[in-house]
Chains A and B, each alone.
Chain A
Amino acid sequence: EEQLLESGGGLVQPGGSLRLSCAASGFSFGGYAMTWVRQAPGKGLEWVSLISTSGSSTFYATSVKGRFTISRDNSKDTLYLQMTTLRAEDTAVYYCASAYGVLPHYYHFDYWGQGTLVAVSS
C-alpha cells in the first residue's frame, strides 16, 4: 500500500525556520515527481512546490519563492521542505503528494500524506 508520512511540523516564531520531511513507502518513490500542497485553517488547497524525479528541477509558488527549498533523497525515499523566514500567513497543514502525468504541466497528485501542521506565531 502506498504511504506518505509527513513530520517536522510545529509552532515557530515569525522569521523562524522549519524543515518538513515526508517518508514514502509502498511505491517506487524515485519514479515520481513530488510536491507540497498546503491548506490554511478553514481555507482551500494551495500548491507550494514541486521537484522532479531526480531532484534536478524544482518549482515554487510565488508566495514561497526564495524562502522555501524543496529537495529529495531517493536513497532514503524521503522528500523535504526547508522553510525559512516564516510568516504568519504560512500557517497551514502541509501535505506531501506524489505527482504523475504525461508531461509535467499535466501532473495530477495521486498519493497524499496525512499532513503536518505548521503554526507561525509569536
Chain B
Amino acid sequence: QSVLTQPPSVSGAPGQRVTISCTGSSSNIGAGYHIHWYQQLPGTAPKLLIFGNTNRPSGVPDRFSGSKSGTSASLAITGLQAEDEADYYCQSYDSSLSAYVFGAGTKVTVL
C-alpha cells in the first residue's frame, strides 16, 4: 500500500487533456516536500518528467505540467499523443517513514 495514492489508469483520445492525481498526507505532500513525476515507457527505465512540483527538465514538452495543493498533486498532459502511453509515477519524501516514496503508478492509455 503506497502512501501516495494514484489512480491505476486513465485514458483519453489523441489531443485530449488528461490529469493524474497523487494524494498524500501531512507527513509527505502536506508537509511541504516536493512532488516529482516520472514517465516509464514500456520496457524502459523511468525518466524524470517534472521536478519540484512544477518544473520541467530540459527536453520535456510543455504539454506536461505539474501542480500541487495541500496534500495532493496533479500531473496534466494536454494534447495527448500516442507516444504518451506509459506508466506515470509521483514521488516525494515521507517524514514518518524517513523514506523517499513513490505512488503505485498510473497507466495512461491513448484511445
Which residues in A have some Cβ–Cβ distance to B below 8 Å? 35, 37, 44-47, 50, 59, 61-62, 95, 101-102, 105-110, 112-115
Contacts and interface: CB of A to CB of B under 8 A. Distances in A.
A107 B89 contact: no
A107 B36 CA distance: 9
A45 B99 contact: no
B33 interface: yes
B38 A45 contact: yes
Interface stretch (B10-18, B68-76, B100-108): B100-108
B51 interface: yes
Interface of B: 2, 33-34, 36, 38, 40, 44-48, 51-52, 57, 87, 89, 91, 93, 95, 97-105
Nearest to B93: A105
B100 A107 contact: yes
A35 B46 CA distance: 13
Contacts of B91: 45, 47, 108-109
A108 B36 CA distance: 6
A5 to B, nearest CB: 11
Nearest to A110: B48
B93 to A, nearest CB: 4
Contact of B51 (A44, A105, A108, A113): A108
Contact of A45 (B52, B95, B102): B102
B104 A44 contact: yes
B38 to A, nearest CB: 7
11 contacts: A44-B104, A45-B46, A45-B89, A47-B99, A47-B102, A106-B34, A106-B93, A107-B93, A110-B48, A110-B51, A112-B48
B89 A105 contact: no
B73 to A, nearest CB: 13
A110 B45 contact: no
Contacts of B98: 59
Contacts of A105: 33, 93, 95
Contacts of A107: 93, 100
Contacts of A110: 48, 51, 57
Nearest to B36: A108
